[in-house]
């Protein structure tokens, strides 16, 4: 399967988590050389609760968007230089992103090209911010991707946006409904 087809297949939104607390997301910039996708979701839980779960992707990430097919293989070391990585069942591992900024309860910034984008000459930076919004907590994100790819990047921006919106929706749904599991 080509990288573009893998990205399009990965963009399908599914699962019970998605309908519970929809995230607002959009492609804010897009060209053949790069794109920016942003979004936000709110929760009634504390910033500390958001951070605690955010750095435990095995608890909320959709396993369909992993190389192994199982989110329990994910780990995130929330410190500069830390790895958002995945262990492979038969040995080996995958680095999804590298932590470049970690402020517990406030911001997590990671660098890396997610999923099939990893095989291209791309750089990506994902910033997740946690802030007070009225009587709740807002989780907002921006993923900025640019570089060289074997396909026009604007063709995959919407799919990447859907995938990230799904993951953030799952995070907030898990916060609001702790009994939900992968």
Please report the pLDDT score of residue 178 as a whole number: 76
DSSP code of residue 93 = E
Please report the pLDDT score of residue 20 as a whole number: 40
Please report the pLDDT score of residue 76 as a whole number: 98
Task: State whether residue 157 is helix, strand or coil.
Answer: helix
Are 123 and 36 in contact, with CB atoms under 8 Å apart? Answer: no
Taking residue 116's Cβ as centre, other Cβ atoms within 10 Å add up to 21
Q: Which pLDDT tens digit goes with each residue over 105-131?
A: 999 999 999 999 999 999 999 999 999
**140 lies in which domain range?**
3-8+23-51+99-176
CATH of the domain at 148: 3.30.530.20
Cβ neighbors of 151 (< 8 A, separation 6 or more) are 3, 4
pTM above 0.85, yes or no: yes
In the structure encoding, which two tokens stand for residue 131, read together? 């802030």
- In-domain check, residue 134: yes
Q: Between the CA of residue 90 and those of 34, 83, 112, what are the distances in Å?
A: 34, 20, 24
């Amino acid at each position: 399967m080509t990288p573009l087809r893998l990205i399009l297949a990965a963009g399908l939104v599914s699962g019970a988590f998605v309908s519970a607390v929809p995230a607002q997301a959009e492609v804010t910039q897009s060209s053949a050389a790069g794109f920016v996708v942003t979004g936000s979701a709110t929760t009634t839980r504390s910033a500390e609760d958001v951070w605690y779960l955010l750095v435990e992707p095995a608890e909320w990430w959709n396993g369909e968007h992993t190389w192994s097919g199982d989110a329990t293989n994910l780990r995130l070391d929330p410190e500069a230089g830390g790895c958002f990585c995945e262990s492979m069942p038969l040995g080996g591992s995958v680095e999804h992103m590298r932590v470049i900024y970690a402020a517990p309860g406030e911001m997590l910034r990671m660098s890396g090209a997610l999923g099939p984008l990893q095989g291209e000459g791309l750089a990506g930076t994902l910033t997740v911010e946690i802030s007070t919004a009225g009587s709740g907590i807002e989780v907002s994100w921006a993923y900025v991707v640019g570089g060289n790819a074997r396909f026009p990047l604007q063709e995959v921006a919407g799919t990447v946006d859907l995938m990230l919106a799904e993951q953030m929706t799952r995070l907030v749904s898990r916060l609001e409904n702790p009994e939900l599991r992968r």
